[in-house]
Amino acid sequence: MMIFAGCTLAYDVLTPSANFTFNILANRDPYQQLIAETIRLSPEVPLEQTATSKGNRVFRAEAPGGAFLVDYSARVEVARPAVPGEVRPDNPGRLPLSVLTYMLPSRYCESDRFAQAAWDLFGKIPNRVEQVREICRWVDANLEYKPGATDSRTSAWDVWQQRKGVCRDYTHLAIALCRALSIPARYVGGYAIGLDPMDFHACFEAYLGGQWYLFDPTDGIAPDHVVVIARGRDAANAALTTIFGRVNAHPVKVTCTLAEATVPAAPPA
């Protein structure tokens, strides 16, 4: 699946300068190949590309006071595996340490508070894949999609009580329920085909049978229709921007569509 994804971010920098870290670049992994990408800054200031401790690709820039525009576009080939009907069971006590961290409570996913509820709702399902699928179904059926009802402080426990939120909140609750059942789960932020209105999207990956598989508890978007930007224990590891300085942010513009196969590929920037 060849996908064109990108975004435009616009700011008014109100201090003499502001420092930005942007986490909007398409990631690289065995199932997602970056064919080409372009980063344009206006005004043209130097940028520094680097990677976070979770392996997410980010870039940093210092912008002077006034208008500042970031325009990003990428062509990405996605061939992510479909979720199988069943997998061999994992032994939680023998999981790699790099995976074990995604089974522990985190800032927005307080899985230790969901142990009894998760068992009552899903614990008797013997198939681990079906457990995760049923968690997604339950979250989608029992939460009201309501933009503005939550904010950056809202955690999975808050969502459990309020029963409303957006894709970020659905994802945090699904992750917390998975971890409460000893299923490693990690937050995924990215671009997704088919959103209306178009925006950045949150979903998650669960570790099943020795491999990570992508699930979308909000819109049910197919795994190969998602371009991953960032992975982490929760949204705290996947902030789209980190800003030092006083700014006004304009509405974000996001694009994610099937790419024209006839467009010649350029090497990654």
Percentage of the residues of the chain whose pLDDT score is greater than 70: 96
Residue 224 DSSP one-character state:
G
Tokens of 28: 């690289």
To which residue do tokens 């820039």 refer?
61
Q: Please name every residue paired with 241 in a beta bridge, in sequence order, or none if there are none.
A: 22
C-alpha neighbours within 13 Å on the C-beta side of residue 124: 3
pLDDT digits (tens, 9 = 90+) for 109-158: 999 999 999 999 999 999 999 999 999 999 999 999 999 999 999 999 99
Residue 45: is its pLDDT beyond 60? yes
pLDDT for the residue 51: 83
Label residue 241 by pLDDT band (50, 70, 90).
Answer: very high
Residue 265: is its pLDDT beyond 60? no
Averaged confidence pLDDT in the chain = 93
* Confidence (pTM): 0.93
Residue 262: is its pLDDT beyond 50? no
Residue 225: is its pLDDT beyond 80? yes
pLDDT for the residue 259: 85
Closest listed residue to residue 205, CA positions, set 244, 241, 179, 166: 179
Residue 181: is its pLDDT beyond 60? yes
Residue 55: is its pLDDT beyond 90? no
- The span from the CA of 213 to the CA of 111, in Å, is 20
Mean pLDDT throughout 232-251?
95
Residue 263: is its pLDDT beyond 70? no
- The span from the CA of 166 to the CA of 241, in Å, is 19
What domains, with CATH codes, occur in the chain?
2-78+240-258 (2.60.40.2250), 92-236 (3.10.620.30)
The torsion angles phi and psi of 52, rounded to 5 degrees, stand at -85, 175
pLDDT for the residue 264: 41
Q: Determine which helix (DSSP H) or strand (DSSP E) holds 56, and give its type and residue range.
A: none
Distances in whole angstroms, Cα of residue 236 to Cα of each of 73, 74, 106, 108, 154: 24, 24, 9, 8, 12
The CA radius of gyration of the chain, in Å to the nearest whole number, is 19
- The span from the CA of 264 to the CA of 269, in Å, is 15
Q: Please name every residue paired with 48 in a beta bridge, in sequence order, or none if there are none.
A: 60
pLDDT for the residue 121: 98
Tokens of 223: 């795994």
Closest listed residue to residue 70, CA positions, set 27, 22, 13, 35: 22
Residue 261: is its pLDDT beyond 60? no
